[in-house]
Structure 1
Amino acid sequence: MATYKPPYTITSKIVKLTSEISELISDIKHIDKQYSTLKLRKKNRIRSITGTLQIEGNSFDEAKVTSVINGKTVLGTTREIEEVKGAVLAYDYFNKYDYKSEKDLLHAHKLLMGNLLNNAGVYRQSNVGVGGADGVTHVAPPSNMVPQLMGEIFEWLNSTDEHLLIASCVFHYEFEFIHPFNDGNGRIGRLWQNVILKSFKDLFEHIPIESMIRANQTKYYEALEDAGSAGESTPFIEFMLGIILKSLQEYIKESAKSDQKSKQKSDQKILALMKQNSQITIAEICSKLSMSESGVKKVIKKLKDEDKIKRVGSLKAGHWEVV
């Protein structure tokens, strides 16, 4: 049993948001699996990296981040390029992190900041203040307390029965409050919340929450400050659950769009094959387009219903006619 319990209050807003998120997760089970594991994974990983870096002042957009990932030369400062490379390394390791492991978090920081800090992967040895537009907004705990505070929050994370949606928000706030590293705290805090969420539901590996935080950056910092003023993470939990909900809603919207485009492409490809060879078989279409038999038959039925094709003669001896 953990001796430290982070201060927060479960409000009706937190209960409502947790319930709405859980309902959306059930809806997402019906999204096209091929899209969510291939196209969306790559696109959203780039959005996650771009979002989390832009929050910290990196000017690179998704196109530039993609270029760095692909090994292309891009215009930018050495620091910006190294920030992208470090973030790519840290996120590439995503599925190997154990969210309960303090050692893994230190390893993530080493990957993220290895080319930018001499002491990457090691807690800070000096005292720091977190700055804002009006100067220092938060004086972090003294450096000699950092190992103990991080040990306590990980001990709590390992033993808590709290819903992981809520626990991920609590950890994120507590981590930023402790500010355990000389640099890279925001990036690691956001990454680790996603690592916790992924242990709750695998689909969070593909949800670019960092991108949504970037779109609401001012409110993100306000929520951190409000929690600091309140002396508990409640305002930040409410804010972050709202961000998670918006991120899931955006994911569903993007998935629906891509699924529609994918179906349109399948229609066009099958029509083109039938024009080239009116006697083409379903098995041959499956082979040429790397589609399942049920998928091809579904598209053919749709094309028939839309009067775009018709079958003349038997399945064995007949042929397709494109109307």
Structure 2
Amino acid sequence: MKYQPPYTITSKIIHLVAQISESIGRLTVLTQIQDGLKLRKANRIRTIQGSLAIEGNTLSEEQITAILNGKPVIASPKEVQEVRNAIKAYEAFQQWKPSSGQDLLQAHQILMTGLIDEVGQFRHGGVGVMSGDRVVHMAPPANQVNRLIGELLQWLDESPEHPLIKSSVFHYEFEFIHPFADGNGRMGRLWQTLILSQWNPIFVNIPVDSLIYQNQKAYYDALQASTDQTDSAPFIEFILQMILVAILSSTVTDQASDQAGVQDSDQVKRLVTLMDKHEYTLAELMSLLGLSHRATFQKNYLNPAIEAGLIERTIPDKPKSPKQKYRLKRI
């Protein structure tokens, strides 16, 4: 009987998949309209910084940019090596096939060269996941890793599941198996991005890892909840939420670069990322942001978002109608 990872497709997962699919279409159109080379580079740097920061790397986006440009930085050799490895991994990224075990090992070798001895090979000993001084997960024995990863890669290759769900399930299962002596977190996140980029190449440049870093505790909590329930649904929901917010954030940034009226894209980004498919009154939107001054909200948040084409009025021909509501703009 073929291996089948345990997961449940919840209504929240279905809703998130629909939202992401709609939002990725909007972002794809934007990137086709404008030259986003500088933005893609910035997002790549944010991805590298976020993924490595989760693992304890303290280098800033500015320092990573300097390393990318071949400039010296004052930092520990280990942290500089981690950045250089990540840059090389993303340069080789599109050559890999998600279901290839050989490519998986090659990616690990690139990511971990100069950092550990066991590069490009599965671990030879036991390993546990720690939270402070407490072991929260004991990974399967080392002699089971090759079989478990083989079954997972075969499932990945043959599963008809939507790539958003399939990549999230893979990410969780990969972390559960913990196949390497070190580097499992950054490998799991890298491989999910690879899987998604096979569905839509734009995922290469969406900085999901940066958001995971900002929500690091929730990331580990979702992993633990899925392990406790023997069902990766909590982790799938969390990761899809991070993907959605990352896409919406990238959409706002792209729009802001082309819209002179958007003076502070961070404020617009904050508004858009808090909204879902509901229709909101002005008061409800202000409540989402915890704001009480209507004029400031309209000037700094709502009007720029409308001008950028991210939010629309439900009664566009009567802007001041007392029945007016607002929603994310439909494609």
TM-score, length-normalised on structure 1?
Answer: 0.79
Secondary structure class of the residue paired with 2:129: strand
For residues 113-152 of structure 1, what are the structure 2 equivalents within 5 Å? 113-152=112-151
Once residues 147 and 63 of structure 2 are traced to their aligned partners in structure 1, the CA distance between those partners, rounded to angstroms, is 40
- 8 Å contact from structure 2 (residues 8, 233) kept in 1: yes
Residue number in structure 2 paired with 1:50: 49
Residue number in structure 2 paired with 1:248: 247
State yes or no: 1:25 paired with 2:39.
no
Secondary structure class of the residue paired with 2:135: strand
Alpha-carbon offset, residue 260 of structure 1? 2.6
- 8 Å contact from structure 2 (residues 123, 142) kept in 1: yes
Provide runs of 4+ in structure 1 moved above 3 Å: 34-37, 261-264
Alpha-carbon offset, residue 51 of structure 1? 0.4
Please tell me whether Structure 1 or Structure 2 has the larger radius of gyration of its CA atoms: 1
Once residues 222 and 95 of structure 1 are traced to their aligned partners in structure 2, the CA distance between those partners, rounded to angstroms, is 31
Q: Percent identity?
A: 47
**1:104-150 deviations in whole A, cap 9, x for unaligned?**
11111000001112221100001011111252111000000000000
User: 1:6–1:101: structure 2 CA closer, same or farther, 3 Å change rule?
Assistant: same
User: 1:143–1:68: structure 2 CA closer, same or farther, 3 Å change rule?
Assistant: same
Once residues 134 and 244 of structure 1 are traced to their aligned partners in structure 2, the CA distance between those partners, rounded to angstroms, is 31
Once residues 36 and 44 of structure 1 are traced to their aligned partners in structure 2, the CA distance between those partners, rounded to angstroms, is 14
Residue number in structure 1 paired with 2:40: 41
**1:282-305 deviations in whole A, cap 9, x for unaligned?**
xxxxxxxxxxxxxxxxxxxxxxxx
AA partner of residue 6 (structure 1): P
Superposition RMSD in Å: 1.7
AA partner of residue 200 (structure 1): W
Alpha-carbon offset, residue 36 of structure 1? 5.6
- 8 Å contact from structure 1 (residues 50, 60) kept in 2: yes
Once residues 99 and 239 of structure 1 are traced to their aligned partners in structure 2, the CA distance between those partners, rounded to angstroms, is 22
- 8 Å contact from structure 2 (residues 4, 155) kept in 1: yes
Secondary structure class of the residue paired with 1:103: helix
**1:264-320 deviations in whole A, cap 9, x for unaligned?**
9xxxxxxxxxxxxxxxxxxxxxxxxxxxxxxxxxxxxxxxxxxxxxxxxxxxxxxxx
Secondary structure class of the residue paired with 1:30: helix
User: 1:262–1:119: structure 2 CA closer, same or farther, 3 Å change rule?
Assistant: farther
Residue number in structure 2 paired with 1:192: 191
Residue number in structure 2 paired with 1:306: none
Residue number in structure 1 paired with 2:5: 6
User: 1:152–1:193: structure 2 CA closer, same or farther, 3 Å change rule?
Assistant: same
**1:59-94 deviations in whole A, cap 9, x for unaligned?**
001001111111211111111111111111111111
User: 1:119–1:41: structure 2 CA closer, same or farther, 3 Å change rule?
Assistant: same
Alpha-carbon offset, residue 261 of structure 1? 5.6
For residues 160-199 of structure 1, what are the structure 2 equivalents within 5 Å? 160-199=159-198
Once residues 166 and 121 of structure 2 are traced to their aligned partners in structure 1, the CA distance between those partners, rounded to angstroms, is 24
- 8 Å contact from structure 2 (residues 28, 202) kept in 1: no
Secondary structure class of the residue paired with 1:168: helix
AA partner of residue 216 (structure 1): N
- Give the number of equivalent residue pairs: 263
- 8 Å contact from structure 1 (residues 35, 258) kept in 2: no
TM-score, length-normalised on structure 2?
Answer: 0.77
- 8 Å contact from structure 1 (residues 32, 259) kept in 2: no
Gapped regions of structure 2 (runs ≥ 5): 264-331
Farther off after superposition, 87-96 or 186-195: 87-96
Secondary structure class of the residue paired with 1:131: strand
Once residues 252 and 74 of structure 2 are traced to their aligned partners in structure 1, the CA distance between those partners, rounded to angstroms, is 33
Once residues 133 and 35 of structure 1 are traced to their aligned partners in structure 2, the CA distance between those partners, rounded to angstroms, is 46
Gapped regions of structure 1 (runs ≥ 5): 265-323
